[in-house]
Structure 1
Amino acid sequence: MSDSAKRSILAGLRWTSLRLRLLIVFALVALTAAVSASGIAYWLNREAVLTRTQDTALGDFRRQMQNRAASLPLEPTADDLREAAEQMASSGPGYHVLLIGARDGKPVTGTSDLDSFTKADVPVSLQKQVNKKQPLTSANAFEYHLFWQRTTLGGTPYLVAGTKIIGGGPAGYMLKSLDQEREDLSSLAWSLGIATALALLGSALLAQAAATTVLRPVQRLGDAARKLGEGKLDTRLVVSGTDELADLSHTFNKAASSLEKKVADMSAREESSRRFVADMSHELRTPLTAITAVAEVLEDEADSLDPMIAPAVHLVVSETRRLNDLVENLMEVTRFDAGTARLVLDTVDVADQVTACIDARAWLDAVDLDAERGIMVRLDPRRLDVILANLIGNALKHGGSPVRVSVRTDEDELVIEVRDHGPGIPEEVLPHVFDRFYKASASRPRSEGSGLGLSIAVENAHIHGGDITASNLPDGEGAVFVLRLPRDAEGLTGTPGSDDPDRNEKGDAK
């Protein structure tokens, strides 16, 4: 999967996650509001319904006790109590009545419905309150009061109330079913639940609309930022409205314009610098060629010159060659920066190539080669020679003999390791070994190398689609450079042919 596809998927996930968070927040707010409103509405309606039913039944029961039970004789018979209870129940709002009196010192009861209401249905605590004589005070003018409570019998809610006639009359109890009120409240609860669900659904739709309204410009901003990150510096947002998102879009456009201008200026300066280096290097080649020719003639005649002049001649020859190498390296770097470097591929035996590189530089005595013949690869032989010359030369110069070069294959990759026996590379230097003009020691600014050799080597590896890594061996046994190249770089070639044939063949070791 490509990086752009992965970024698109991750961006979609982030966008969906933000939308999901908005939906959840809206849903929670709506759910909290709906549940709170429904709970309050249910509680208020419940209290209103139960209070209305309770007040109606208790008021009627009090009147019935005053009108009918109070007219009974002091020692009523069971028939008197039953008849009075039936009359009270028949004229009341749907409740049963139980009357309890005393005759000849024995309790006598009468009920409107023996199967529906007996003394056993009256809570003991309520009986105690009803039969307890209250002390008469200025605030209490009656010995007995009406008491009530809600209870459940056989799974059905009831209202039970009781009082006693003052002056020795019977005690009366009523039993009012609240089943109808429970059904009404259940219907109300279902209605409120449906209303809550509809409110939740409505909030989800509103959240979807709000999320779309909010996230669409955010998504456009994210897409524009990704395009800007991909190098499309002319990306701009359409600014509409005067809200915070419009201000953000305006700020993005200003930042993109500023970035585009700065990048254009930097590119122009970089292009000018590259052109200057390329032109300067090219212009230096002609006088350098002449100076090199003269220096070689002087070198041939150095032995016949005055002994006081000979060292100066050798110094001129050495510095001329160093300057020539530097110019060639600068031209090579310029080609890489300008993107004009091209591969000229050929199928070669790696062992033969490495041997030829070592032999051409008279390194056979200082290098141990571990390479089997027959490892055939398709790459640019000249660029491979540049890479090997820089890696091996660097190991010989800054590491220690013997330098070991091993060649192997790893699936579709060619792996070449160059290992020395020196002190290794300081840890603070490792991240910079492939930087241009980087030298590990400030005390040797005029070392033989220009500081471009390893950078040219890694650029040649990159143009093949490979890479070079540097590390230290354990226990301070030296440093190792690992070159990895594809065994077939056919798909990486540009325009057929090579750039300047007189280009640097050796580079220099860092």
Structure 2
Amino acid sequence: MSAAREKSPQAGPRWTSLRLRLVVVFALVALTAAVSASGIAYWLNREAVLTRTQDAALNSFRQEMQNRAATLPPRPTQAELQAAATQMAAGGNPGYSVLLVDEREPGKPIAATSDVDTLTLEDVPRELQGAVNRRQKVTEANEFPYHLYWVRISPRDKPSLVAGTKVIGGGPTGYMLTSLEQERDDLNSLAWSLAIATALALLGSALLAQAAATTVLKPVQRLGDAARRLGEGKLDTRLRVSGTDELAELSRTFNRTAESLEKKVADMSAREESSRRFVADMSHELRTPLTAITAVAEVLEDEADNLDPMIAPAVHLVVSETRRLNDLVENLMEVTRFDAGTARLVLDDVDVADQVTACIDARAWLDAVDLDAERGIMARLDPRRLDVILANLIGNALKHGGSPVRVSVRPVDHELLIEVRDHGPGIPEAVLPHVFDRFYKASASRPRSEGSGLGLSIAMENAHIHGGDITASNSPEGGAVFVLRLPLDVSRAADGDDEGDGGVRDAQEGGDK
């Protein structure tokens, strides 16, 4: 593993998606509330302002119609009509323009306006004129034949109120026009004020949301960091707990869980270390008597031809089982070194084709193995451990597969690929995931066999210490295929590894041969 450390997630942006969602929700709630309140306030103020101005103007106009227009003589002159219109406009509060319409003679209407630039008969909507001049039927519910009507208009983008009525019992028809521009300006100012208030409320809600999110998310972030450290193996990680809320209770639960996990891992580690020490000590202690037994067995094997024919098979069995026991002890010691992290690589530059040939020749497999390897493929690795890997893979193929076993070697993208293929029945699909497990045997009906169930496991451990891997599969044409992948230069792959299986040493330094 490289000495470079992976960048911690804490170094990234602290603006998490949860924080963003909280701020957005707060902002939307505040915006909805502010817009609703501003809309209601604007509508209520608008109606209040317009209604007040409108009622004042209509009441004043009605009063002026009764005081001045109703006192005009029948069929007034133009001058009289003009004077009345001027007096009505002058006495109106608020100020407005007045238009009076009457008949000097039948069929000859006359009109007078207080301000010809503001109000003429053409400025009065026809619908309003029709409603004003339309005589209503007098009933108990309707005491007067004519009523006061009004309408809001906006000629030339100038909001105005136009009203009209007719003097009951004979008299002129009067129209009034008053400007609503001041009210419009006041309402626009109110709208701007409400918009600014809404924006300030939105900004305030965002700040409050940020503060609330920080208050809520900081404990969650601490909990996430603690869980990350716990996942990295720092089992002594604990959280500082303050308060009595749900987050505090969650922190207490985390601390209890971490404490329980640390205790269980410590117990398991202690048991595992004890088991590992037991296996190592047992293997070491077995070597001395086993060496003596092996020497005796070899002597017996040399004398087997001179022994009683009834005893010779037993001697051969003892010799075979002694060698098997010796191999098992050596494998157990190798596994123990891997588990203890004391296995080391002793690197050297080797010609892979020569190394594979030497492995096959040393075990007298030349007639059963078909080698496809070009000379000159150089790799920097541990030749002893490569020999162990090849011996286990090829031996497994010869034992459980079918001859010939084909071994091909080729470099691919700074990697060394060694493929071992047999021509047997292949590996059952249920067995494939377990072929590299320790002490695993495919046939449960034959728990005792020549193998110990450690060969492929040791091969995989040796591949891992090189920074490589082994995969097992079945060929479509039949037979099992094991593919070993190793870096062409193990020293680069293992440079700076402070967590490996004991590290790397150069061949000149020596090693655990």
Identify the TM-score tier after normalising by the shorter chain: over 0.9
Q: 1:74 Cα deviation (Å)?
A: 2.6
Contact 1:38–1:192 (Cα < 8 Å) also in 2: yes
What is the aligned residue count? 498
Q: 1:257 Cα deviation (Å)?
A: 0.8
Q: Distance in 2 between matches of 1:130 and 1:194?
A: 44
Contact 2:86–2:114 (Cα < 8 Å) also in 1: yes
Residue in structure 1 matched with residue 386 of structure 2 by the alignment: 384
Q: Distance in 2 between matches of 1:199 and 1:428?
A: 66
Tell me if 1:47 matches 2:69: no
Contact 1:467–1:485 (Cα < 8 Å) also in 2: yes
Structure 2 counterparts to residues 291-440 of structure 1, below 5 A? 291-440=293-442
Tell me if 1:246 matches 2:248: yes
Contact 1:464–1:486 (Cα < 8 Å) also in 2: yes
Residue in structure 2 matched with residue 100 of structure 1 by the alignment: 101
More relative contact order in 1 or in 2 (CA 8 Å, sep 6+)? 2
Q: Distance in 1 between matches of 2:13 and 2:182?
A: 53
Tell me if 1:36 matches 2:8: no
Residue in structure 1 matched with residue 485 of structure 2 by the alignment: 484
User: What amino acid sits opposite 1:31 in the alignment?
Assistant: L
**For 1:186, what is the secondary structure of its paired residue?**
helix
Write out per-residue CA displacement over residues 473-498 of structure 1, whole angstroms, 9 at most, x where no aligned residue: 2x343222111112222253446756
Q: Distance in 1 between matches of 2:126 and 2:354?
A: 113
Q: Distance in 1 between matches of 2:423 and 2:10?
A: 48
Residue in structure 1 matched with residue 172 of structure 2 by the alignment: 170
Q: Distance in 2 between matches of 1:446 and 1:14?
A: 60
Q: 1:310 Cα deviation (Å)?
A: 3.0
Residue in structure 2 matched with residue 225 of structure 1 by the alignment: 227
Q: Distance in 1 between matches of 2:418 and 2:343?
A: 23
C-alpha distance 6-427 of structure 1, shift in aligned 2 (>3 A): farther
Contact 1:458–1:468 (Cα < 8 Å) also in 2: yes
The CA RMSD over aligned residues, in Å, is 1.9
Q: TM-score, normalised by structure 2?
A: 0.93
Q: 1:274 Cα deviation (Å)?
A: 0.3
Contact 2:344–2:512 (Cα < 8 Å) also in 1: no
Q: 1:500 Cα deviation (Å)?
A: 5.0
Write out per-residue CA displacement over residues 429-488 of structure 1, whole angstroms, 9 at most, x where no aligned residue: 222221111222222222221111111001001111111112222x34322211111222
User: What amino acid sits opposite 1:79 in the alignment?
Assistant: A
User: What amino acid sits opposite 2:118 in the alignment?
Assistant: S
User: What amino acid sits opposite 2:491 in the alignment?
Assistant: E
Contact 1:423–1:476 (Cα < 8 Å) also in 2: no
Contact 1:85–1:110 (Cα < 8 Å) also in 2: yes
Contact 2:346–2:505 (Cα < 8 Å) also in 1: no
Q: 1:49 Cα deviation (Å)?
A: 0.7
Q: Distance in 2 between matches of 1:331 and 1:499?
A: 15
Q: Distance in 1 between matches of 2:428 and 2:102?
A: 112
Q: Distance in 2 between matches of 1:62 and 1:377?
A: 112
Q: Distance in 2 between matches of 1:81 and 1:458?
A: 118
Q: Distance in 1 between matches of 2:5 and 2:148?
A: 83
Write out per-residue CA displacement over residues 407-434 of structure 1, whole angstroms, 9 at most, x where no aligned residue: 1212322221112222222222222221
User: What amino acid sits opposite 1:249 in the alignment?
Assistant: S
Structure 2 counterparts to residues 6-45 of structure 1, below 5 A? 7-8=9-10, 12=12, 16-45=16-45
Q: Distance in 2 between matches of 1:438 and 1:152?
A: 95
Tell me if 1:82 matches 2:76: no
Write out per-residue CA displacement over residues 321-359 of structure 1, whole angstroms, 9 at most, x where no aligned residue: 222211111111111000010111122111111000000
Q: TM-score, normalised by structure 1?
A: 0.93
The worse-fitting range, judged by mean Cα deviation, of 210-219 and 184-193 is: 210-219
Tell me if 1:445 matches 2:447: yes
Q: Distance in 1 between matches of 2:79 and 2:330?
A: 134
C-alpha distance 8-389 of structure 1, shift in aligned 2 (>3 A): farther
Tell me if 1:272 matches 2:289: no
Residue in structure 1 matched with residue 72 of structure 2 by the alignment: 72
- Unpaired segments ≥5 residues, structure 1: 502-510
User: What amino acid sits opposite 2:136 in the alignment?
Assistant: Q
Q: Distance in 1 between matches of 2:5 and 2:136?
A: 89
**For 2:6, what is the secondary structure of its paired residue?**
helix
Residue in structure 2 matched with residue 508 of structure 1 by the alignment: none
Q: Distance in 2 between matches of 1:306 and 1:14?
A: 85
The worse-fitting range, judged by mean Cα deviation, of 375-384 and 299-308 is: 299-308
User: What amino acid sits opposite 2:57 in the alignment?
Assistant: A
User: What amino acid sits opposite 2:30 in the alignment?
Assistant: A
Q: 1:239 Cα deviation (Å)?
A: 1.0
Contact 1:126–1:148 (Cα < 8 Å) also in 2: yes
